[in-house]
């Protein structure tokens, strides 16, 4: 755990010398990593601004998004799941959650936990575990994706962060899979990644109801810039091998 030399009050969690999470303890409503900003901006669009939500986080990290939801939507009910008990203990000791945060911490496999959840139990389901095509097979399956959608409310959203390398074969496949199961879906990323020439993060957002055109407009405006929000035919084109 290290202090951020550039942001007062912020801490960085590193594992094996690689930065994994960033938390602004003084301002938990500020998210540093761009891919998390994109996820946060989708969550911002749910329900009435500021209204409490039910959120399931699969892959807890430093609980950055848990803190964001509590800061922007006080009274939210959250569940965070992670395999690494020692990591979560360290995070909670060094970076305690803000007072009043209602978040159940579960140490276990994401797939097992999702199976135990009721239909439509959450307004947002966030999967932030994948690290490329070597991700655990049971977490990349169509069966698991179907359960993510099952536990999501009809007007909610499933958000899957996919880290991938060129030509984004894994990310395209995950997007295709979710699109085949959901009523509607979209892809959010940095505009320069759409052609598959760069490594980075792709967010797949899937819903059990329509994808509002207003969401595309709002997310393009919110950034981070330059932003790409691919829905409908644009998303389908991205999902094809070598697509853009």
Residues linked to residue 23 through DSSP beta bridges, in sequence order: 11
Q: What is the pLDDT of residues 152-197, one digit of tens each?
A: 999 999 999 999 999 999 999 999 999 999 999 999 999 999 999 9
Instruction: Pick the closest to residue 22 from 52, 56, 65, 75 (CA basis).
Output: 65
**CB-count exposure of residue 8 (10 Å: 0-12, 13-18, 19+):** exposed
Please report the pLDDT score of residue 14 as a whole number.
58
Domain-by-domain residue ranges, the chain? 28-239
Enter the tokens of residue 62.
């430093």
Question: For domain 28-239, which architecture applies?
Answer: 3-Layer(aba) Sandwich (3.40)
DSSP string, the chain: -EE-SSSTTEEEEEETTEEEEEEESS-TT---SHHHHHHHHHHHTSSSTT---EEEEES-TT-HHHHHHHHHSTT-EEEEEES-HHHHHHHHHHSPPPTT-EEEEEES-HHHHHHTSPTT-EEEEEE----STTS-GGGSSHHHHHHHHHTEEEEEEEEEEEEE-TT-HHHHHHHHHHHHHSSEEEEEEEGGGTTS-S-EEEEEEEESS---HHHHHHHHHHSSSSEEEEETHHHHHHHSTT--
- pLDDT bin (cut points 50, 70, 90) of residue 22 is confident
Starting at the edge strand found earlier in the chain, the sheet holding 2-3 runs 2-3, 10-15, 18-24
Is residue 148 pLDDT above 70, yes or no?
yes
Alpha-carbon distance of 28 to 50, in angstroms, equals: 15
- Distances in Å between the Cα of 208 and the Cα atoms of 88, 125, 149, 150, 179 are 31, 12, 7, 9, 10
- pTM, full prediction: 0.94
Instruction: Pick the closest to residue 163 from 212, 129, 195 (CA basis).
Output: 129
Please report the pLDDT score of residue 61 as a whole number.
87
Is residue 89 pLDDT above 70, yes or no?
yes
């Amino acid at each position: 755990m290290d202090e951020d030399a550039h942001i007062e009050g912020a801490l960085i969690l590193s594992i094996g010398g690689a930065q994994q999470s960033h938390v602004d303890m003084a301002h938990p409503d500020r998210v540093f990593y761009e891919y998390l900003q994109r996820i946060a901006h989708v969550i911002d669009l749910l329900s009435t601004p500021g209204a409490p939500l039910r959120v399931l986080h699969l892959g807890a990290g430093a609980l950055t998004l848990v803190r964001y939801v509590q800061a922007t939507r006080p009274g939210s009910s959250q569940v965070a799941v992670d395999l690494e008990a020692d990591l979560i203990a360290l995070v909670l000791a060094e970076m305690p959650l803000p007072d009043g945060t209602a978040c159940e911490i579960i140490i276990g496999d994401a797939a097992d936990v999702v199976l135990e959840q009721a239909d439509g139990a959450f307004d947002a389901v966030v999967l932030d575990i994948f690290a490329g095509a070597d991700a655990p097979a049971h977490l990349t399956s169509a069966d698991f994706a179907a359960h993510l959608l099952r536990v999501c409310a009809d007007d909610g959203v499933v958000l899957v962060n996919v880290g991938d390398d060129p030509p984004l074969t894994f990310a395209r496949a995950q997007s295709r899979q979710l699109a085949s199961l959901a009523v509607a879906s979209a892809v959010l990323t940095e505009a320069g990644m759409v052609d598959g020439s760069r490594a980075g993060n792709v967010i797949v957002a899937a819903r059990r109801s329509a994808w509002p055109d207003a969401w595309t407009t709002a997310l393009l405006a919110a950034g981070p810039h330059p932003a790409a929000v691919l829905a409908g035919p644009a998303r389908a084109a991205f999902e094809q091998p070598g697509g853009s």
